[in-house]
A and B are shown apart, each in its own frame.
Chain A
Amino acid sequence: MPDPQTTEAQTSPLISLRGISKSFGDIKANHGIDLDIHASRVLALLGENGAGKSTLVKILYGFYRADSGVIEYRGEPVSIKSPQDARELGIGMVFQNFSLIPAFTVAENMALFFRDLGRVMNLKQISGRIESISERYNLEVDPSALVMDLSVGDRQKAEILKLLLSEARVLILDEPTRVLAPHEIEALFKVLDNLRSDGFAIILITHKMKEVMDIADHIVVLRSGQVAGSLSVAQASEKKLIEMMFSRPVTEFQSIDHPKAEPGVALLELKQVSTPAEGTRMSLKEINLDVHAGEIVGITGVSGNGQTELADLVLGRLPAEGGSIHLAGKDATDYSIRKVRREGVAFIPESPMAMAVAPYMTVLENMVVPQIERYARNGGFTIDWDAIQQDCTASMDRLDITLPLYSTARSLSGGNLQRMVITRELAHQPSLIIASYLTSGLDVRSAIAAREALVQARARGAGVLLFSDDLNELFSLSDRLIVLHEGRIRGQFLPSETSFEEIGYLMTGSEASDEH
């Protein structure tokens, strides 16, 4: 590997970003970010969920326009207003939801974008062109293979191939190894190495410490929308990087005073439960987990490591393959979703609009659907709207939330939708609450109120399973903290006996340090 010190000193950046800022409403996704992208160099962009990496890269690729700041290409300021502009500058992005047509062969996908494709397609010539580039960079894919038949690793190779064939010189890869097997990761890194030697600039967004140390030349760590550190790989160590990613001054903890009662009966028990992988779905491997009455169990991890699957498993939406699920002692492994809910389990899903709400029904109507059995009268021929209204109002009062009951759900803001879902799910004193990313999209006041609601629930004896990527929130609310990584539980901790850094290690797949 070329000596990073000399490389950095000598070449001037291909692209530089200066003072890039971007806000979405109240949220400052990027704040005064400076970044240099050099040819023949792999730049790793590191940071936890919500740190602003995705936004920054999308600005570079033309999906977003920065609110302020400058982008320079070879020293000249440029304006990137659309992906088309980015492509013309030779910036290419490898997407996670791939941009290839699954029903086409690799060759057809490539040929679609050839500017000089003949009227009659010369298949030999097309394959030849593909093969020459793929050989050069170890991107071996069979041009006549259907994209839908390719393994994920090969699909990714084809994606990169497509970018190369359209003459991109800057390649952005967003979490490329998330769905790859170890040997595929090795293959990918060989490709990146070849590309780097050939003068390509590569930006790698990742959480995986090991990969960063293996392949990157330079590392930039983002935290809360700002650059927390920029250093060459020679200067970096896992410990330093994790500190940069996760450190919080201790005073930032919001400790909510809660009486530490003794946890009661086991409300939820998962015993050696596994689920198969399918497509982009992560498989869960031998999960052992329990939630007792009167406790909040927090689960954290980088998003995409099995959180959605775990929540769906408890809901009854994802069938278990091996192992068993118990609700309050009863074997609930094969329960239908309705049956699970009947047992007093409430669900606050991660995207309310997509997963919890019918957009054209009113808020009030949406409140009823999960509990329809409770309010059906006369064998189902009528619905007791008065009772519903009473219960909803009571729940809203308890949680100090106001919602327009007769407006359509579609007209609500994201924050209000989340509040609606919380109100609905907590309305009937559930005994077990599964909350995914409870406070996403909520303003500070509502977030505090939502957390308070969970604490209240715990105080009256409910059990809570809280998925979150906000370590502050988890540390202050959880009685126990669990880390989920690649579908496995890695460690269980008491918040008072661990630290952000330790959790950070486990979240990013590093070995736990010796400190604990």
Chain B
Amino acid sequence: MTGLAILGVLSSALFSGASLLYATLGETINQRAGIVNLGLEGVLLISGATGIAVTSLTGNPYLGILAAVIAGGLTNIILAFLVVTRRGNQLASGLALMFFGFGVSALIGRAFVGLKINGLPRIVVPGLSNLPTRYVSLLQFDILIYLAIPVAVFVWWLLFRTRWGLGVRAVGENSDTAFASGRNPHWIKYQALIAGGMLAGLGAAHLTIAYTLNWSEFMTGGRGFIAIALVIFSKWNPIRAIAGALLFSGAVAFQLLLQASGVNVSPFLLDTLPYLLTILVLMLWGGSRKYAAPASLGRVYMGTE
């Protein structure tokens, strides 16, 4: 196991994990407000397709990122309308949004299938540009990767150290209490969903504009559901999500490492780890109240909200 190989794993994990982390952060904000978005996959697809489209048309990846972020926010507004204003069932609305995402992303992306775009430039980790080329090539990351952890910390700060975050979490625990404190739960849920959607858009943008640099149908490959699992696994805490995202996306990279040392594990089995770990962790927490979901979210899962 050479240093190069380890570096390769880390590099790969970071590239793959950044988009996952952003999506997870967005979904964390949603779920903290008491809303689960089963259509996250669809949101990611729409944002990703929009990002590619705008990048391809303008040649400017930064505009593409902006477009993806806006697309994500707008798509989540649909969910907000259905779930908050019309009081629709969260699970069904999320799934409907997922199918919507399948369709809209295909529509937007059809003109861009197979086209290569100007991706985000990659910058070497500051201070390490003097290393031999084969190392340096693994240490070049785009700006969204550099920003991933700071953004996670920012989201943590937003949720736990600001008045807005307190309100969001209060709504997610008990809307009545939040209302009694003079807040408007409906409006807060909208805000949370828009913010969450924008972060999801950022994640999708990274996936298409910085990582794969192209578009194909269904290219998010289940990341939406991985993100939902990761939100639960990290106990709705943005800081823990960082570690979780590295762990989850490191799985495939880890497989390459194992292969290099002669151990052959199927990548498919490794890909199941995020989900199995989440289930395991849920079983261990059991009925423990400390690790319970935000209270109104729990009621969604029970079918009573």
Contacts and interface: CB of A to CB of B under 8 A. Distances in A.
Interface of A: 99-104, 108, 111-113, 115, 117-121, 123, 146, 148
A120 B290 CA distance: 25
A113 B162 contact: no
A7 B177 CA distance: 38
Given A99-B177, A103-B295, A112-B177, A118 B163 contact: yes
Contacts of A123: 161
B291 to A, nearest CB: 10
A120 B154 CA distance: 13
Contacts of B294: 103
Given A113-B181, A148-B289, A148-B290, A101 B174 contact: yes
Contact of A103 (B167, B173, B180, B181): B173
Contacts of A115: 182
B173 A101 contact: yes
A147 to B, nearest CB: 10
Contact of B181 (A102, A112, A118, A120): A112
A128 to B, nearest CB: 17
Contact of B166 (A100, A102, A108, A148): A108
Contacts of B162: 119-121
Contacts of A111: 166
Interface of B: 161-164, 166-167, 169-170, 173-174, 177-178, 180-182, 289-290, 292, 294-295
A112 B170 contact: yes
Nearest to A108: B166
Contact of A119 (B163, B174, B177): B163
Given A103-B294, A112-B181, A148-B290, A121 B173 contact: no
A146 B173 CA distance: 14
B163 A117 contact: yes
For the complex of A and B, list the 10 residue pairs with the smallest distance between their C-beta atoms, beginning with the closest: A101-B173, A112-B181, A113-B181, A117-B163, A119-B163, A148-B289, A112-B170, A121-B161, A120-B162, A103-B173
Nearest to B294: A103
A118 B165 CA distance: 12
25 contacts: A99-B177, A101-B173, A101-B174, A101-B177, A101-B295, A102-B173, A102-B289, A103-B173, A103-B292, A104-B173, A108-B166, A108-B169, A111-B166, A112-B167, A112-B170, A112-B177, A113-B181, A117-B163, A118-B163, A121-B161, A121-B163, A123-B161, A146-B290, A148-B289, A148-B290
A102 B161 CA distance: 18
B171 to A, nearest CB: 10
Contacts of B181: 112-113
A477 B48 CA distance: 76
B31 to A, nearest CB: 13
A394 B165 CA distance: 62
Nearest to A102: B289
B103 to A, nearest CB: 37
A120 B170 contact: no
Nearest to A84: B180
B300 to A, nearest CB: 16
A121 B158 CA distance: 10
B51 to A, nearest CB: 31
Nearest to B165: A121
Nearest to A146: B290
Contacts of B166: 108, 111-112, 117, 121
Contacts of A100: 177
Contacts of B295: 101-103
A345 to B, nearest CB: 30
Contacts of B169: 104, 108
Nearest to B167: A112
Interface-centre pick from B167, B177, B295 (highest chain A CB count, 10 A): B177
Interface-centre pick from A100, A101, A111, A118 (highest chain B CB count, 10 A): A101
A148 B181 CA distance: 20
A87 to B, nearest CB: 9
Contacts of B182: 115
A119 B165 CA distance: 10
A120 B289 contact: no
A146 B292 CA distance: 13
A142 B289 CA distance: 20
A118 B289 CA distance: 30
A248 to B, nearest CB: 41
A351 to B, nearest CB: 18
Contacts of A117: 163, 166
B157 to A, nearest CB: 9
B164 to A, nearest CB: 7
A111 B161 CA distance: 11
Contacts of B289: 102-103, 148
A53 to B, nearest CB: 24
B164 A119 contact: yes
B240 to A, nearest CB: 16
A259 B174 CA distance: 56
A112 B185 CA distance: 13
A119 B163 CA distance: 5
Contacts of B164: 119
Contacts of A112: 166-167, 170, 177-178, 181
A148 B291 CA distance: 11
A104 B169 CA distance: 9
B292 to A, nearest CB: 7
A324 B5 CA distance: 66
A113 B166 CA distance: 11
A12 B254 CA distance: 78
B65 to A, nearest CB: 27
A113 B164 CA distance: 13
A117 B170 CA distance: 15
Interface-centre pick from A104, A111, A112, A123 (highest chain B CB count, 10 A): A112
A124 to B, nearest CB: 12
A117 B225 CA distance: 37
Interface-centre pick from B167, B170, B182, B292 (highest chain A CB count, 10 A): B170
Nearest to A115: B182
Contacts of B170: 101, 104, 112
A235 to B, nearest CB: 40
B109 to A, nearest CB: 40
Contacts of A120: 161-163
A103 B159 CA distance: 14
A385 to B, nearest CB: 30
A280 to B, nearest CB: 14
Interface-centre pick from B163, B289, B292, B294 (highest chain A CB count, 10 A): B163
A107 to B, nearest CB: 10
A104 B180 CA distance: 16
B151 to A, nearest CB: 18
A407 B121 CA distance: 71
Contacts of B167: 112
B286 to A, nearest CB: 15
B295 to A, nearest CB: 7
Nearest to A122: B161
Contacts of B292: 103
Contacts of B174: 101
Nearest to B289: A148
B53 to A, nearest CB: 37
A290 B256 CA distance: 71
